[in-house]
A and B are shown apart, each in its own frame.
Chain A
């Protein structure tokens, strides 16, 4: 158990809908990262928050948005869903923002989103 909690574990929804994925980081971790992993794309970095503020942005679509709340949990909102959005969505957390600088990230178990 990494200490990072993601809910829901599975989500099936129809095209055009909107969903919210939730992530609770490890206690004390200030950074939260979101990743998308589909079969043919590998792990794609979407966005990072540090202590409530956006820190880095990756290949996140305009239909997707995220935020980190004062209690440090984070939500990833996916709207106007398309079939191609079906994937595993991972959240990770780390103590600091300088990922890789003698710190490690802890990943949750992921949310499997299926768009039908």
Chain B
């Protein structure tokens, strides 16, 4: 099971782009990289998932370098409502089961006006 390392907390201002980097040095060939967002007292919510290079959806982008030992979640033009905990997960593929849903401590992102 690939362990992930993320910043404990970050802060930024409204309208800025925020990048949260996750290290996963022991990522396996079949592992995917998934990011979840969690607001207080709510269940985590899927943001984005990728395997390599760059993935973009309506809320975020995910950058994965060629060696896949890290990944960066990019949130464009954040707002106060983006204040949440962001989790980076690595797993899945042939590992199966819930390996892809092992949550670390996450990054507490605080957006200020």
Question: CA–CA, A109 to B43, complex, Å?
Answer: 5
How big is chain B's contact interface, by range? 20 to 34
Question: CA–CA, A42 to B103, complex, Å?
Answer: 8
Q: Which of A61-69, A74-82, A99-107 contacts B (4 or more CB under 8 A)?
A: A99-107
Contacts of A104 in B (CB 8 A): 34, 46, 49
A92/B43 contact (C-beta < 8 A), A100-B89, A101-B32 known: yes
Contact of B92 among A98, A106, A110 (CB under 8 A): A98
Which residues 74-101 of B sit at the A interface, judged by CB distance below 8 A? Answer: 87, 89-101
Question: CA–CA, A42 to B41, complex, Å?
Answer: 12
Cβ–Cβ contact B96 & A102, under 8 A: no
Cβ–Cβ contact A48 & B97, under 8 A: yes
Cβ–Cβ contact A42 & B43, under 8 A: no
Q: Is B102 interfacial (CB-CB < 8 Å)?
A: yes
Cβ–Cβ contact B98 & A33, under 8 A: yes
What residue of chain A has the Cβ atom nearest to residue B32's Cβ? Answer: A100
Residues of chain A whose beta carbon lies under 8 Å from any beta carbon of chain B = 2, 4, 33, 35, 42-43, 45, 48, 55-56, 58, 88, 90, 92, 97-110, 112
Which of the listed residues A55, A92, A104 has the most CB atoms from chain B within 10 Å of its own CB? A104
Contacts of A56 in B (CB 8 A): 96-99
Question: CA–CA, A90 to B105, complex, Å?
Answer: 16
Which residues 19-50 of B sit at the A interface, judged by CB distance below 8 A? Answer: 30-32, 34, 38, 41-46, 49
A97/B100 contact (C-beta < 8 A), A88-B41, A92-B43, A110-B43 known: no
Contacts of A48 in B (CB 8 A): 97-98, 101
Known interface pairs A48-B98, A98-B95; 8 further A-B residue pairs with C-beta atoms within 8 A, sorted by A's residue number? A2-B45, A56-B99, A99-B91, A99-B101, A100-B95, A101-B30, A103-B92, A104-B49
Question: CA–CA, A56 to B41, complex, Å?
Answer: 25
Interface CB pairs A-B, < 8 A, 10: A45-B98, A55-B98, A56-B97, A92-B43, A92-B101, A99-B92, A99-B99, A100-B90, A100-B93, A100-B101
